[in-house]
Structure 1
């Protein structure tokens, strides 16, 4: 089971509340399971064994594929996740026999209440939220990941990249990495050719370099 440190303390629980269009504020089954010290499977099975305590659409609901996409969620399994409202989340304290469920149930409800309060403050204009930056283009995201992988696999390239970023000359870099100037110049050309020191001109070429490093 994953470490629960990031979930401890009621001050964090409001950050786990989701706002899905057309649905009441809710918390994902996997997040609630970690808080209560059980597996996601056991949490949902406990709900299934106690149908009288949970009303679908009121206390819980299963997310659709479009809702998963809206929330930008990563699916840990092939199944669509369930989400629980404030009442549904608290109801587990009556059926889960874990110390975490007993100690955190009230904090979970307080997290929902804090979320509701924050939404009211934002609605009234008493709190302003920073606008999200424009979404990163997929090609830029792929390049950054491939760049990071290549640099992680080549300590020399990582050093050259850092020193070039500081504006050092080839001669200065050579002194710092204990290489000949010609060697540094050769590596700089290779890094430029695969887009590590300049904006990538050919993403497939960079992917080829990454594949080569994975195989070697």
Structure 2
């Protein structure tokens, strides 16, 4: 098989990976651009092969997710590629299955590149797992310290407020004074 002349930079692919429903996914419109097909062609191919795409391979965004995603990620009114309809979100397994459905040489090469990127991301997360755990521990400690500091300031505030209230003198009282 000949090598694809136009490769897509890894950074572009990585910027098209979103986290939706706590899963790393790529959207139909982005994949269509990478594969060199129209979004509706990609969606038609998926619909014709629906049995290949169970919920853990591909899902359609809910209306709420779609509105949130649009407000966070789309800035141009001219950028309408597939934005009138809720996009399909493909997990790593769904991307692999897409290579069976879209059988062009470009789609195969881009799919291989995407799967390699997903693998590198997973390897990086595994390699730095201990760092992530330590960061999480430090965050918890800081939250505890924040609570303790807040409590300390509350006590100081109460002490200062009580200082302004005149207090009755205590001690021995002499007659005549």
Would you say same fold, with TM above 0.5?
yes
Say if 1:12 and 1:111, in contact at 8 Å, map to a contact too.
Answer: no
Equivalence for 2:46 = 47
Deviation of the 1:123 alpha carbon: 5.2
Equivalent residue for 1:125?
131
CA distance in 1, matches of 2:63, 2:108: 33
SS in 2 for 1:78: coil
| In 2: Cα distance, 1:83 partner to 1:122 partner | 27
Q: Secondary structure at the match of 1:125?
A: helix
The 1-side partners of 2:98 and 2:37 are apart by 11
User: Distance between the aligned counterparts of 1:45 and 1:121, measured in 2?
Assistant: 39
1:38 Cα shift?
0.8
- How many residues align? The count is 120
**CA distance in structure 2 between the partners assigned to 1:15 and 1:121 by the alignment:** 21
Structure 2 residue 87 is matched with structure 1 residue 81: yes
Q: Distance in 1 between matches of 2:11 and 2:49?
A: 30
Unaligned runs of 5+ in 2: 1-5, 136-177
Q: Deviations over 1:105-163 (max 9, x none)?
A: 1111112223334445665436x9xxxxxxxxxxxxxxxxxxxxxxxxxxxxxxxxxxx
Root-mean-square deviation (Å): 2.6
- The alpha-carbon deviation at position 86 of structure 1 amounts to 0.6
Query: Which structure has the larger Rg?
Result: 2
Cα pair distance change 1:73/1:122, threshold 3 Å? farther
Change in CA separation of 1:11 and 1:79 when aligned onto 2, cut-off 3 Å: closer
TM-score, normalised to structure 1, is: 0.48
Instruction: Kindly report which structure 2 residues correspond to 1:9-48, keeping only aligned pairs within 5 A, or say none.
Output: 9-20=9-20, 22-48=21-47
In structure 1, the partner of 2:117 is: 111
CA distances 1:45-66 after superposition (whole Å, capped 9, x unpaired): 10111122111x2111111233
Instruction: Provide the rounded CA distance (Å) in 1 between the counterparts of 2:68 and 2:123.
Output: 23
Match of 1:96 among 92, 102, 106: 102
Per the alignment, residue 140 of structure 2 pairs with none
Q: Which residue of structure 1 lines up, in the alignment, with residue 62 of structure 2?
A: 64
Which protein, 1 or 2, shows the higher relative CO under an 8 Å CA cutoff with sep ≥ 6?
A: 2
Structure 1: gaps spanning 5 or more residues = 129-216
Counterpart-to-counterpart distance in 2, 1:59 and 1:69: 22
- Deviation beyond 4 Å, 4+ runs, structure 1: 118-123
